[in-house]
Amino acid sequence: MSDTSAPHGIRPGIDGDLTAVTGRLRRITVQVHGAGDGVGSGVIWASDGLIVTNAHVAQDRRVGVVLPDGGSLEARLLAWDPERDLAALAIDAHGLPAADVGDSDSLRVGELVVAVGNPLGLAGAVTAGVIYAIGPRRSVGPSFIQADLRLAPGNSGGPLANAHGHVIGINARVAGGLALAVPSSLVARFLAPLQLRAAAAP
């Protein structure tokens, strides 16, 4: 029986072959350049140029974005929430590959996950692991997905996805040797006011 839940014909990589999944994730992961020399990551959330990243990655009203094909664009800061560590950016582009957003509320401990980002200047680097725990960590704030995988500077703002390639979180930081990601359910709540304003615009 074929798996109809996998996006765009991608089969889950339970057999250990995650190349199709990671290939699509790399196509929706961008580099985000702030005012300093640091480079973070971002996720193309919608094909019209909406990008989600971390608040600590995009701290200026205008930042530079490098697309997976190498194209560089200036992005506008649409929304910024340091408490959730989320930022929304807009670039003037259309028809972009966009994230297949998954349901973070259905995650289970032990589930296979994949992260993509730009650590230490390596564009589109991939790491994989499992869900370690879901819930708050007292030292860093509420509601993070905790995953046992390796992140490095530059991964912040990139996608955390399940084995089907559904983005279920935005990688944020490392604590206690674990990767922490903002759940996609919180991203949806963060973006809701923007979507309401867009729907109401003439």
Residue 105: how many CA atoms within 13 Å on its side-chain side? 4
Note if 184 is an active site residue: no
For residues 200 and 186, what is the distance between their CA atoms, to the nearest angstrom?
Answer: 22
**What is the per-residue burial (b if ≥16 Cβ within 10 Å, else e) of 188-202?**
eebbeeeeeeeeeee
Q: Are strands 178-183 and 167-175 parallel, antiparallel or unpaired?
A: antiparallel
Q: Are 66 and 97 within 8 A, CB to CB?
A: no
Choice among 41, 100, 104, 156 that is catalytic: 156
Note if 85 is an active site residue: yes
Element (H, E) at 57: none
Choice among 33, 41, 85, 164 that is catalytic: 85
Choice among 47, 56, 81, 143 that is catalytic: 56
Q: Are 43 and 34 within 8 A, CB to CB?
A: no
Q: Which amino acid is at 32?
A: V
* Beta-ladder partners of 127: 115
For residue 161, give the 3-state DSSP assignment: strand
Catalytic machinery residues: 56, 85, 156
